[in-house]
Structure 1
Amino acid sequence: MDIIEGKIWVQRDDTEDGITPELVEAGIPKDRIVLGFHLPDVRPHTGFALA
């Protein structure tokens, strides 16, 4: 994970259940989380930040 321009970028997630749900459960809004492991054209369909 990286913090870039105030957003959390999940670059890779090899955990069994995924780290992203834990971030959301911790109160981090989805618009502050970028799923960097998805291609940019897929990100609009994830419900998370684009970049």
Structure 2
Amino acid sequence: MKENRIWIQQNTTDIDLALELVEMGVPKSDIILGLHPPYKRPHTGYGVA
């Protein structure tokens, strides 16, 4: 958690963590895919920081 958003910095599993969170009711705008560089984040459909 950082600034009331969930940051996914790394995922070394077969599970799509972001998708799991969305299915649990977390808005996509509250999930930041920190494993992608900032210039790619606007194209992910998830939050941008």
TM range (shorter): over 0.9
Gaps of 5+ in 1: none
Gaps of 5+ in 2: none
Q: Give the number of aligned pairs.
A: 49
Specify which structure has the higher proportion of strand: 1
Identity between Structure 1 and Structure 2 (%): 47
1:43 aligned to which of 37, 41, 44: 41
TM-score, normalised by the number of residues in structure 2: 0.94
CA RMSD in angstroms comes to 0.7
TM-score, normalised by the number of residues in structure 1: 0.90
